[in-house]
């Protein structure tokens, strides 16, 4: 189970499984780009005060398990993760823009699911297995 946080008048443990795809499912998340993306994502999480518990990519999508507080709003987390990561990856790897029509890195859609103590280990295993598929 994710960490239980005790505050003044509240106790919580909130985890989400997040998934999103590259635009047009282009298979561009390999090697150096994948490593840089993971580094950027972890920095965004740190700056926004939530934790990346698990993260893995395949060539055209990313899975992560995050731990956050009740004050976090999922659409804002997604906006920060996708927007900042795209901007910084395009800055460091300008060749990506020529691989993607219209210069967008991410598909605008995403998947989010809450994680319970009963499903956490299954989701962690699933995220870790992304490279094996």
Radius of gyration of the chain (CA): 15
Q: How many residues does this entry show for the chain? A: 133
Answer for the pair 29, 22: CB distance below 8 angstroms, yes or no: yes
CA atoms within 13 A on the CB side of 23: 14
Instruction: Give the catalytic positions in this structure.
Output: 126
Task: Give the Cβ contact number of residue 70 at 10 Å.
Answer: 10
Q: Rounded to the nearest 5 degrees, what angle is found at the Cα of 66, between the Cα atoms of 27 and 121? A: 90
> CA 44 to CA 4: how far, in whole Å?
22
């Amino acid at each position: 189970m994710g960490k239980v946080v005790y505050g003044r008048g509240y106790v919580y443990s909130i985890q989400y499984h997040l998934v999103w795809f590259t635009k047009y499912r282009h298979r561009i998340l390999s090697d150096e780009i994948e490593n840089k993306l993971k580094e950027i994502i972890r920095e965004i999480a740190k700056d926004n005060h939530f934790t990346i518990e698990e993260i893995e990519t395949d060539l055209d999508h990313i899975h992560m398990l995050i731990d956050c507080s009740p004050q976090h709003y999922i659409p804002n987390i997604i906006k920060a993760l996708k927007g900042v990561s795209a901007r910084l990856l395009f800055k460091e790897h300008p060749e990506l823009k020529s691989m993607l029509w219209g210069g967008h890195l991410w598909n605008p859609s995403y998947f989010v699911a809450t994680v319970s103590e009963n499903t956490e280990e299954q989701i962690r295993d699933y995220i870790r297995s992304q490279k094996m598929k």
